[in-house]
Amino acid sequence: MNCPCCASAEILLRSAKRLSCACAACGHQWQSHPTAAPIDYRQLSGRNIPDAAAHQAKLDDRITDIAPLLFPNLQVLEIGCAEGSLAACVMARGAMHYSGIELSGDALAAEKILHRVIREPATKLHGEVFDLLLSFHVLEHINDITAEVSAWRSLLGDAGVLLVEVPNQAGHPLLSDDPNVEHLHQFTTSSLSALLDRAGFAIERMTCGHFESAVYSDSLRVIARPCLPPESKRTALVARFRQALNRPFAIWGIGGDYHSYVAPWISEMPPSALIDSNAARHGEEIGGNLVESYDPYQHKDLLILVASLRYSSDIARDAKSCGIAAESLVYLADIYGLPRHKRSAENAP
């Protein structure tokens, strides 16, 4: 027997424990052969409306991480949408198509809110592709988590995102055993990472401390994206730049960030000019272009790629002082999805 998360064969068998297997490598605990009859979720409903204020606080915490992942008309699939209260909050934030999987009787309530409610597990869905997969406190109920997470990967496009949350260990790091008979798995940060990694996901962010209920006061939340081979990463990167630089452009800023973030794709999209504020660089040749100063006669119709993370506010100031409109500036940080740093006077060399 191997660990369903990390595949280690070093398994501790604990006959006295409800979760009878523990992985010595990643700390995952699970029930290898559920003894009780499998729970028939179709017979259950209405189990998710406890304290209204706590419920809303939980939804607000989830929306904080979901909102930045939304874009117009995306296809969302929520695995375990319950009665649809999260769906209602997400759907209020813009145009999208929202599907949910719900095996319990809550599906009837969800059908009044979601565009579509599917009453079969994700492993039965084939040939569909979604942009965003959401799953809160569902994975720990599923016996074959390897098959489940593999199905999630096949339901996501290469540019898609997964947001999954499970109890952090037993629901609080100081508690060892989760007594909930519906929970067939107890995750650690290591086991959840290993499971997602082996299914072809790259973790973008993992956070803990998310409040699900008084019983599970600490939950692990992961945002992950499909792990792409190098050529697909480059294609995705070039697509972002093509979208942002949709007419002839100049690159302003030929320093370290240019070499890290621009040089890897620039052969696909040759610039019309290379500009730098530092006169010492003028005349340097890079990729067939000479670095020069801004020339309003030659460069006035070009978009300007601000090609520095560290000095973007300095470049923007210099560009604006040359009469370049703010709408003509495209920032490297925006294309890579990074915050724009303002360089403070104290940090200036």
Residues that bind Zn ion (CB under 5 A): 3, 5-6, 8, 23, 25-26, 28
- Which is closer to Zn ion, CB of 22 or CB of 87? 22
- Which is closer to Zn ion, CB of 28 or CB of 58? 28
Residue 83 structure tokens? 């009665």
| Residue 143 dihedral angles phi and psi, to the nearest 5° | -65, -55
- Which is closer to Zn ion, CB of 11 or CB of 254? 11
- Which is closer to Zn ion, CB of 23 or CB of 81? 23
In the complex, the smallest distance separating the C-beta of residue 187 from Zn ion, rounded to whole angstroms, is 10
Sign of CA dihedral 70, 74, 78, 81: positive
| Residue 10 dihedral angles phi and psi, to the nearest 5° | -85, 85
Type of residue found at 58: K
In the complex, the smallest distance separating the C-beta of residue 145 from Zn ion, rounded to whole angstroms, is 12
Q: At how many degrees (to 10) do helices 145-154 and 189-198 cross?
A: 50
Distance CA(7)–CA(224), nearest Å, equals 20
In the complex, the smallest distance separating the C-beta of residue 2 from Zn ion, rounded to whole angstroms, is 8
In the complex, the smallest distance separating the C-beta of residue 225 from Zn ion, rounded to whole angstroms, is 23
- Which is closer to Zn ion, CB of 30 or CB of 41? 30
Residue 50 structure tokens? 């406890």
**C-alpha distances in Å from residue 342, one per residue of 119, 143, 261, 348:** 50, 49, 18, 11
In the complex, the smallest distance separating the C-beta of residue 281 from Zn ion, rounded to whole angstroms, is 52
Among candidate residues 330, 347, 345, the one with its CA nearest the CA of residue 253: 330
- Which is closer to Zn ion, CB of 3 or CB of 139? 3
Distance CA(349)–CA(338), nearest Å, equals 23
Alpha helices in 263-325 (DSSP H): 296-299, 312-321
In the complex, the smallest distance separating the C-beta of residue 13 from Zn ion, rounded to whole angstroms, is 14
